Structure 1
């Protein structure tokens, strides 16, 4: 009963937060919603969130009512037992009655108080714990840590995952596709299609509810977490630079030479900017962070990824803060300096992935299309082709060749 109540309390908290977040976002963007005439759709979504929050609250209320009843019943039984002993042992009636009543009342109060505090202590434990354990049970461990991964083949096999298994519904459903070594794959889809969740699954932030993910034919569930995240690098949409010198930011483990650091800066097109600073690569990033534009901070993340030499590179709309000229330079770096990597890139601008080897189209956590870019772009019935047309990147009736030009 206690576990059920704690699960219900967590579910109620999650559903309430979703509802409050939706209300806050709707309030802040009300004028935009009215201008696009989508009030009815947002109202329907609000109703669904209210229903979900109400169901969770009702479940929690009923569970707590049952727990309070059981706690009171236990206390009542202890008090009654003390009364019975007082009758059976008249010489010690007063002492037994007092002690028994105190024990019963204390037990009744402790049951309710303990349940109220348990969920809070669970949350505190989650915050102070080191996160996902790398020593969790493994299955089929065939990992050779010295050479894995040697190719960078990435495979999703009927994979499904949730942010809170058993509490929240799956965000990825029956995802299956194979990315060959050194292939560049662009991932497209509407907001909420599951693109970022796909990346979190590769990093094992999400826990699989079905299927598996394999890198070089090794199930990543059998790989120690630290090892997995050392061979998979993510460049996020919002770059984050920690404090310290630029060199420490680029090479936190201090395993690369200064020549390697300058090479990475050159590939990321930051050499001129860094050279103008008196301290060069020893500049204090924390103090000059305001002098870095959003695009330059993203380029620093790109240089850091170059130094790590990963086998799998994940780009989460990494060029969304860059102008088109800088974007073209970054795409050139991805083609040349990351030629040995398997690259998956969430596309913010479709024209940035038109020269990629393959395109993955997602919708509602499912893969609806996956194939060569030229084939999908030239297929009149393709969802990717429809998206290109709506973005004005594909004239009606045009064909698409291997060099990503419209004929």
Structure 2
């Protein structure tokens, strides 16, 4: 009678303890883990990616990033907490059940240790295999995302050339490659299930055996309790081992996200002890001193010892053949790529010694590929709401877009689709010009900004730049040579070196100059 009462109290106590511990751990995980650890991991992940240098994006496929942000983050936020929840529940239930069986039939303790050792080795063997299979499956999933994104982006081109079937086949092949890793993962899971069921049945067998052997000393109630708990613990113990394996396998997602949360980032956004004056730059003097740069370690130099000085208010045209280093020069000014040797100074301040925000906020670029974001025209022109509507309309007028925007039903509140796809490339380029006019920077860089615009509009824009940026230093990568013939000086780049740097009229007088040959090819001389 006393033993029955003791077993019942033990079972009740263990269940209450297991429930209490489970609730405490659940609250702890929710309060500390989810709010701090997971949040910090996600924040570091996103911040690191946003602050990664361009060489990271040059070498990392887009599908891999999508995979990390989609599937891996989903596993961390949804799958792992649910797995921990179930694992804790099963663990505490198994502990309480084993205690009840051991108290009911003490001989059971002789066999539980060898069984636990067998469980441990089966689990270790399975986890080592499934973890590697999970890595392979995650790696082979990224090309699927990349290919799908490329297919959607180039859908019109694919249809134009009648290549739909080829892209469908490629997509199916990539999915098949992913399944080659996924199918063995399911097979190994079934391998584990067979062995866990076998060991679980051994627990039932030995609990029943010891109950029969001790039938003279045990009451029917205790025997029934022991056997019924043994039958229940089989499934729970199997599930616990499975959840343990599932947890260790899914930790690969944390490993993959943490890898990108610890990647090297760009330089400091703001260097507090070395900030330039608020009105910097006042003159717009740009000086390159033996400047060399490469896109990333191990690659050849793209700029090989640039030495030149751009005076205040000068209009410099930068020309050269494809691969000469024109765009690299503009990227270097914004420190999108960092110097290998030498320096760039603006108004006597070395740009490598100040924060990126202090540098980039003082320069303005009209890029070759216009960039717009999903949102209103007002947001794209003035994202920080620093100017009035009158200033916005004036900038649109100077950019020759006022008539177009005025014809829209919602005018400045007109919604731009993703990437500005509901506007033409030329209109996007003009919006970037309007944005540059609003910034009123002392230094303006144009990276083949008028390449996507017709000649008539190009002439209007050039007139606007000459008028509105008369006192500014302008560096223009020229797409059409006739637009820079009235510039102060022309810089001719070749293979990363400055070959010529002089007044355009002087360069055209020398028939052996590179600029003369380029002007002749363009039919200007």
Aligned length: 280
Runs of 4+ with >6 A deviation = 119-123
One of 326, 340, 348 as aligned partner of 2:457? 326
**SS of equivalent residue, structure 1 residue 256:** coil
1:125 to 1:347, Cα distance in 2 relative to 1, 3 A: same
Q: 2:516 aligns with which of 361, 382, 385?
A: 385
Per the alignment, in what secondary structure is the counterpart of residue 319 of structure 1? coil
Partner of residue 124, structure 1: 260
Give runs of aligned pairs for residues 174-193 of structure 1, distance below 5 A: 174-193=305-324
| Mapped contact 2:416–2:422 kept (Cα < 8 A) | no
- Cα–Cα, structure 1 residues 274 and 221, in superposed 2: closer, same or farther, change >3 Å? same
Q: Partner of 2:361: helix, strand, or coil? A: helix
| Aligned position for 2:407 | 276
In the alignment, the residues of structure 2 paired with residue 172 and residue 287 of structure 1 have an alpha-carbon distance, to the nearest angstrom, of: 35
When normalised by structure 1's length, the TM-score is: 0.64
Query: 1:145 pairs with 249, 270, 277, which one?
Result: 277
> How far has the Cα of 1:136 moved from its partner?
6.9
User: SS state of the match for residue 188, structure 1?
Assistant: strand
CA RMSD of aligned residues (A): 3.0
Partner of 2:482: 351
- Over residues 320-346 of structure 1, what are the superposed CA-to-partner deviations in whole Å (9 max), with x where a residue is unaligned? 000000000010011001112211111
Contact 2:373 2:420 in 1 (8 A): no
**Match in the other structure for 1:134:** 269
Q: Check conservation: 2:372, 2:418, Cα contact below 8 A.
A: no
Query: What's the counterpart of residue 293 of structure 2?
Result: 161
Query: Residues 130, 286 of structure 1: CA spacing in aligned structure 2 closer, same or farther, 3 A cutoff?
Result: farther
Give 3-state SS (helix, strand or coil) of 1:334's partner: helix
Deviations for 1:276-333, whole angstroms, at most 9, x for unmatched residues? Answer: 0121111112289444211111000000011111111111111000000000001001
| 1:207-246 mapped onto 2 (5 Å cutoff) | 207-246=338-377
Query: What secondary structure is seen at the aligned counterpart in 1 of 2:323?
Result: coil
Tell me how far 1:122 sits from its aligned partner.
Answer: 8.6
Return the offset for 1:388: 0.7
1:388 & 1:338 partners in 2: Cα distance? 26
In 2, Cα distance between the equivalents of 1:308 and 1:365? 31
- How much does 1:137 deviate? 11
Q: Secondary structure at the match of 2:379?
A: helix
Distance 2:505 2:261 in 1: 50
Shift of 1:131: 3.8
Kept in 1, the 8 Å contact 2:374–2:416? The answer is yes
Pick the structure with greater CA Rg.
2
- Match of 1:272, SS state, is helix
* CA distance 1:284–1:130, shift in 2 (3 Å): farther
Quick one: structure 1 residues 238 and 123, their matched pair in 2 at CA, closer, same or farther if it must change by over 3 Å? farther
| TM-score, with length taken from structure 2 | 0.50
Change (3 A) 1:122 1:206: farther
Q: Which runs of 5+ in 2 are unaligned?
A: 1-54, 60-252
